[in-house]
């Protein structure tokens, strides 16, 4: 007997925040619709899609991370998880690197481009930062009548975004005040130094809970009898008949069973690397597919907070091992200051910059500046018709170069991060470090939205793929602008727009 349903109203590929947003909005607006969600990776947390930081046991947390590390994931002493350093290709825990094709001779490439395969996707491993885009980061096509801000607010609801999770951190206000003194002059209120909006909330027992796709799903999705989550299920092809999406072909990675699941609507929300891969494998190849690929060059720096006064809080770790000293502070992107700044205590950061100071715990903080990319169609993914990746899907090759403008922005960013760091404390090293390209994990643009099928976009503002009725794409790849801020909130907001469009058509 087949594990899979023969037919559903909506088939969703990918269980990250965007795929989960489709399931949530459809469960709320179309409770009678049948929904099947397919995830290539295993379920590694309870509830499915939860953040691994919420696992109190360190060994259990590490096990969940290693199981997320792709087609060859295994528990072993030689696991690849860890910080990325110059000339080394190492992935952070819970992620895995492209096996090949990450750099073409004569180009910068994305040497540490990485993905996660697990229920919840990268949202089981992320930092939870959910800033709103600003200035040229915003999407003008959705910005004329307040639609974009309403969608962002809905994304914040689904992700459980708060700004007060670290208000009890003893050094949080001190860090913000020092940064504000150095940076706020000339900024409007909304772009001044402030608390980072985070997909985090605090339980009644005082411990932090980080949002994953489980929060996006919510009880309304989990309790929906018409919703089914199929993990360890590789979707190999979108079925298209008479110019319309008709379902998906799927392989059970545990048993090898192959099946076709018919669907009225198909949503591909794999990620910015694998969504275009699946469309390519399905013979759906609009001109812009895989193009305008963009990463955010990431500059990091560490300082020791100077002149610390005794504090009432001790910042001691809670049950998930996260100490709370300096919280997470946001320096918003502006067109005049084209960087997104993120300042956080070391153990909240995915990048380990230094060992903390045992004499003054919490005194060392990390700064990160993310740079907006100079977009170009030549930055792209190409897919092979003969070679395959670890899942047996068309192998990608990354074409990616930095322009003169990119180099100038990075050079300025290195100067700015030292200036901001010195405002907080004493640098551990006067030389900021530029992470290898791909380290941000904020890949975008490969299935970008647009106003018309003009060869420069893959889908409409609602995410429907040009020329294939009923096929929607979702996730960060849909974002058409050059952002510096963390893109998850924007990706979820765009998924809300698409899910509403499907719900309206289901009601017709």
* 425 belongs to a structural domain: no
- In angstroms, the Cα distances linking 39 to 33, 241, 270 are 20, 24, 8
CA–CA gap between residue 361 and residue 248 (Å, rounded): 52
- The distance of Cα 222 from the centroid of its chain, to the nearest Å, equals 22
**Mean pLDDT across 266-295:** 98
Summarize pLDDT for 209-258 with one digit per residue, the tens.
999 999 999 999 999 999 999 999 999 999 999 999 999 999 999 999 99
Q: 227: which strand partners?
A: 35
Stretch 90-113: mean pLDDT, rounded? 94
How many angstroms separate the CA atoms of 98 and 104, rounded?
A: 13
What is the reported pLDDT for 77?
45
- Closest alpha carbon to 167 in 361, 331, 325: 325
Q: Quick one: pLDDT at residue 493?
A: 98
Q: What is the pLDDT of residue 348?
A: 47
Q: What is the pLDDT of residue 66?
A: 95
pLDDT, one tens digit per residue, over 299-322 is 999 999 977 765 544 455 444 445
Alpha helices (H) in 324-471, listed in sequence order: 404-424
pLDDT in tens, 64-101: 999 999 998 865 444 555 555 545 678 889 999 998 99
pLDDT at 321: 43
172: part of which helix (H) or strand (E)? helix 172-183
Contacts of 208 (CB under 8 A, 6+ apart): 53, 165, 200, 201, 202, 318, 320, 322, 324
Please determine, for residue 38, whether its predicted confidence score (pLDDT) is greater than 90: yes
Q: What is the pLDDT of residue 89?
A: 78
Three-state DSSP class for residue 235: strand
In angstroms, rounded to a whole number, what is the distance separating the alpha carbons of residues 150 and 157?
A: 11
In a 3-state reduction of DSSP, which class is residue 309? coil
308: its two tokens? 């610390």
Q: Quick check: is 69 in a domain? A: yes
pLDDT of residue 168: 86
For 323-339, write each residue's pLDDT tens digit: 577 889 999 999 999 99
Within-domain flag for 106:
yes
Token reading at 115: 């993905």
Q: Kindly state whether residue 168 falls inside one of the protein's structural domains.
A: no
pLDDT at 76: 47
pLDDT at 288 over 70: yes
Residue 482: both structure tokens together? 């050059």
Mean pLDDT (whole number) for 361-368: 85
Question: Can you tell me the mean pLDDT for 37-62?
Answer: 96
Looking at residue 357, what is its pLDDT? 55
Extract the tokens encoding 51: 């953040």
446 Ramachandran zone, left/alpha/beta (phi>0; psi -120 to 50): alpha
Helix (H) or strand (E) segment spanning residue 263:
strand 258-268
Per-residue pLDDT, averaged over 33-39, amounts to 98
The confidence score (pLDDT) of residue 246 equals: 98
**Which range marks the domain in which residue 42 is found?**
7-162+197-296+372-402+437-507
Q: What is the mean pLDDT of residues 15-28?
A: 98
Q: What is the pLDDT of residue 296?
A: 97
Q: Is the pLDDT of residue 487 over 70?
A: yes
**Residue 384: is it exposed, middle or buried by C-beta count within 10 angstroms (0-12/13-18/19+)?**
middle
**For residues 132 and 392, what is the distance between their CA atoms, to the nearest angstrom?**
37
Query: Residue 346: pLDDT above 80?
Result: no
What is the C-alpha to C-alpha distance for residues 190 and 377, in angstroms, rounded to an integer?
Answer: 32
Residues 6+ apart with CB under 8 A from 129: 196, 197, 198, 199, 328, 330, 342, 486, 488
CATH number, domain with residue 458 = 3.50.50.60
Nearest partner of 234 among 38, 389, 6, judged by Cα = 38
pLDDT given at position 87 = 55
Residue 230 lies in a domain: yes
Average pLDDT across the chain, whole number: 92
Number of Cβ within 10 Å of residue 437's Cβ equals: 23
Comparing 85-89, 156-160, 352-356, 500-504, which segment has the lowest mean pLDDT? Answer: 352-356
Quote the pLDDT of residue 192. Answer: 98
Closest CA to 251 of 40, 487, 9, 34: 40
Which residues are annotated as catalytic?
A: 442
Contact 329, 196 (CB under 8 A): yes
Lowest mean pLDDT among 164-168, 362-366, 421-425: 362-366
92 vs 105: CA distance, rounded Å: 25
In contact, 346 and 356? CB cutoff 8 Å: yes
**Cross-strand partners of 208:** 202
Q: Strand pairing of 227-230 and 35-38?
A: parallel
In a domain, 334, yes or no: no
> Can you give the pTM of this predicted structure?
0.94
Q: Is the pLDDT of residue 196 over 80?
A: yes
pLDDT score at 275: 98
Burial class (CB in 10 A: 0-12, 13-18, 19+), 422: middle
89 class by beta-carbon count within 10 Å (0-12 exposed, 13-18 middle, 19+ buried): middle
Whether the bond between 47 and the residue before it is cis, its omega within 30 degrees of 0, is: yes
Q: How many domains does the chain have?
A: 1
In degrees and rounded to multiples of 5, residue 387 shows phi and psi of -90, 150
User: What value, to the nearest 5°, has the Cα angle with vertex 485 and ends 483 and 490?
Assistant: 75
Q: Which residues contact 56 (CB under 8 A, 6 or more apart)?
A: 319, 320, 321
pLDDT for the residue numbered 363: 83
Q: With a cut of 70, say whether residue 354 has pLDDT above it.
A: no
The DSSP secondary structure of 386-400, one letter per residue, reads: EEE-TTSSEEEEEE-
Least Cα distance to 472 among 496, 444, 437 occurs for 496
């Amino acid at each position: 007997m087949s594990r899979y349903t023969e037919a559903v109203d909506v088939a969703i590929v990918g269980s990250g925040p965007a795929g989960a947003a489709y399931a949530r909005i459809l469960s709320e607006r179309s409770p009678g619709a049948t929904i099947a969600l397919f995830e290539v990776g295993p379920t590694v947390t309870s509830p499915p899609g939860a953040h691994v930081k919420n696992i109190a046991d360190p060994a259990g947390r590490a096990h969940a991370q290693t199981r997320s590390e792709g087609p060859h994931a295994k528990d072993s002493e030689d696991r690849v998880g860890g910080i990325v350093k110059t000339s080394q290709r190492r992935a952070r825990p819970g992620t895995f690197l492209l096996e090949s094709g990450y750099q073409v001779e004569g180009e910068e490439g994305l040497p540490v481009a990485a993905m996660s395969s697990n229920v919840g996707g990268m949202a089981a491993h992320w930092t939870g930062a959910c800033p709103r885009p600003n200035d040229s980061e915003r999407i003008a096509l959705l910005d004329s009548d307040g639609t974009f801000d309403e969608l962002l607010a809905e994304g914040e609801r689904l992700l459980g975004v708060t700004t007060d999770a670290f208000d009890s951190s003893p050094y949080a206000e001190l860090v913000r005040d020092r940064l504000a003194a150095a940076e706020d002059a000339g900024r409007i209120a909304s772009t001044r130094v402030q608390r980072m909006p985070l997909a985090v909330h605090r339980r009644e027992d005082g411990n932090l809970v980080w949002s994953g796709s489980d929060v996006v799903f919510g009880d309304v999705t989990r309790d929906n009898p018409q919703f089914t989550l199929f993990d360890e299920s590789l979707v190999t092809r979108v079925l298209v008949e008479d110019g319309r999406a008709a379902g998906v072909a799927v392989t059970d990675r545990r048993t090898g069973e192959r099946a076709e699941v018919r669907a009225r609507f198909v949503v591909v929300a794999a990620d910015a690397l694998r969504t275009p891969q699946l469309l390519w494998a399905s013979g759906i190849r609009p001109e812009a597919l895989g193009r305008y690929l963009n990463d955010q060059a990431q500059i990091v720096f560490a300082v020791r907070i100077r002149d610390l006064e005794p504090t009432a809080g001790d910042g001691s770790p809670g049950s998930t091992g996260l100490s709370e000293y300096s919280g997470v502070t946001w320096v918003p992107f502006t067109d005049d200051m084209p960087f997104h700044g993120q300042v956080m205590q070391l153990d909240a950061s995915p990048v380990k910059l230094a060992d903390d100071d045992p004499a003054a715990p919490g005194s060392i903080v990390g700064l990160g500046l993310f740079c907006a990319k100079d977009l170009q169609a030549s930055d792209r993914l190409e897919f092979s018709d003969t070679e395959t990746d670890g899942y047996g899907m068309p192998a990608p090759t990354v074409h990616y170069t930095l322009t003169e403008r990119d180099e100038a922005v990075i050079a300025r960013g290195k100067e700015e991060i030292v200036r901001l760091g010195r405002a907080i404390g004493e640098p551990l090293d006067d030389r900021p470090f530029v992470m290898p390209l791909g380290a941000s994990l904020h890949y975008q643009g490969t299935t970008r939205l647009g106003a018309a099928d003009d060869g420069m976009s893959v889908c409409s503002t609602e995410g429907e793929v040009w020329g294939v009725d009923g096929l929607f794409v979702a996730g960060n790849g849909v974002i058409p602008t050059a952002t510096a801020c963390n893109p998850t909130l924007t990706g979820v907001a765009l998924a809300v727009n698409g899910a509403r469009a499907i719900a309206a058509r289901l009601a017709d």
